[in-house]
Structure 1
Amino acid sequence: MPSFVKQSLAGLRVLLVLTVITGVLYPAGIWAVSRLPGLHGNAEAVDTTLVAVAREGGGYFVPRPSAATLPASGGSNKSEVNADYDQVVAQRKAEVAQREGVAESAVPQDAVTASASGLDPDISPAYAQLQVPRVARERGLPEQRVRELVAAATSGRALGFVGEETVNVTELNRALDAGA
């Protein structure tokens, strides 16, 4: 057999093997693992705080808004000069101000702008502090106790100087549910 034919057959075998592995076996394995009991609770991934989980009710901290309809992920291509975007941000600002009982000027930027993926679990400490009185009142907890929980869920800057301090809303709400 000529060298070209041998190389072509070897390449075809490699193609078929990799197609079966990456196109059939790997997806089937991931699907099977996702069906194992104990990995999901109430359609929420457990044992992770890397994804924002919005909760219903006034006794929970509210994550950043999402441009996508969850569980999908995605951002918006609208910019600050888009009239529709301005209207959405203004509407969100009014809703947050009303929910928290503050002036619209007191609403932090991250409370009204969506994260790039819509799944970001982090909010600014300012947005968390804005929500403390409402959460404490709804849960019947002292504000100081809720502030302690916020402090426990707050992460500092990476390496001490990269990025901003953030509060993980998923971690914070789970601590509230745990009876903290």
Structure 2
Amino acid sequence: MLTHIRPAIVMMALFTILCGGIYPYFITGVAQVAFPSAANGSLVSRNGAVVGSALIGQNFTSDKYFQGRPSATTGTDPNDATKTIAQPYNADNSTGSNLGPTAKPLVDRVTASIADLRKQGVTGDIPADAVTTSASGLDPDITPADAAMQVARVAKARNLPGDQVRSVLDAQTSGRLFGVIGEPHVNVLALNLALDATTTK
């Protein structure tokens, strides 16, 4: 019996060390050398302090900033642990609304979002991503159309010419990968940081 148990124990120990120790450390080392930013979460810093990640959106609410698409993430109510409350861009609880296209709560929320944009003076077609949540609730990007719709509000809040704000937006707009993959998009955090850097010079 010992002749069967010993090889099993040796193999288990060997593969534990190999797969649970050596391999992960090797891959981590390769990633740190080859892709240090991505390996560490694509963190974004300003003045030496980490202010976010390029991969996770943030809940910008001030009129001075471009705002991301709505987020359906939730979190525990700090006043009652048995309840959950809306916590936009809660990275601990990535989720969509899971509401069907005809669900009344979804229709009511989208209708209210459209009405709010109209009150802000937005005319014409409203981009879908401006009033709908992403599947993760953490999408860091918006469409150029969504960003362009916000230029007037941001320019007014910062007392800047619209053309100046638009030039920052144009500089921060990313095209399709290799010209064919994906869609043009704008990283909201990067755009807001660029806007801050431009207006504080």
Q: TM-score range by the shorter chain?
A: 0.7 to 0.9
Q: Mean Cα displacement is larger for which, 7-16 or 72-81? A: 7-16
**Partner Cα separation in structure 2 for residue 78 and residue 56 of structure 1:** 24
Indicate which of 148, 172, 175 corresponds to 1:156: 175
**Partner Cα separation in structure 1 for residue 191 and residue 108 of structure 2:** 30
Indicate which of 123, 132, 150 corresponds to 1:113: 132
What is the CA-CA distance between 1:11 and the residue it aligns to?
4.1
Q: Which residue of 1 aligns with 2:96?
A: 75
Q: Which residue of 1 aligns with 2:107?
A: 86
Deviations 1:106-129 (A, max 9, x none): 321110111121221211111111
Runs of 4+ off more than 6 Å: none
Q: Which residue of 2 aligns with 1:3?
A: 3
Residue type matched to 2:113 in 1? R
Q: Which residue of 2 aligns with 1:145?
A: 164
| Structure 1 residues 129 and 21: CA distance shift in structure 2, 3 A | same
1:57 aligns with 2:72: no
Compute the TM-score of the two structures, normalised by the length of structure 2. Answer: 0.69
Q: CA RMSD in A?
A: 3.0
Kindly indicate whether the alpha-carbon contact (under 8 Å) linking 1:97 and 1:107 is maintained by their aligned counterparts in 2. Answer: no
| Unaligned 5+ runs, structure 1 | 26-32
Q: Which residue of 2 aligns with 1:173?
A: 192
Kindly indicate whether the alpha-carbon contact (under 8 Å) linking 1:61 and 1:172 is maintained by their aligned counterparts in 2. Answer: yes
Kindly indicate whether the alpha-carbon contact (under 8 Å) linking 1:52 and 1:121 is maintained by their aligned counterparts in 2. Answer: yes
How many residue pairs get aligned? The number is: 163
| Structure 1 residues 119 and 87: CA distance shift in structure 2, 3 A | same
Q: Which residue of 2 aligns with 1:28?
A: none
Q: Mean Cα displacement is larger for which, 13-22 or 107-116? A: 13-22
**Partner Cα separation in structure 1 for residue 126 and residue 193 of structure 2:** 24
Indicate which of 102, 111, 126 corresponds to 2:122: 102
Residue type matched to 1:121 in 2? P
| Structure 1 residues 176 and 89: CA distance shift in structure 2, 3 A | same
Residue type matched to 1:170 in 2? L
What is the CA-CA distance between 1:18 and the residue it aligns to?
7.6
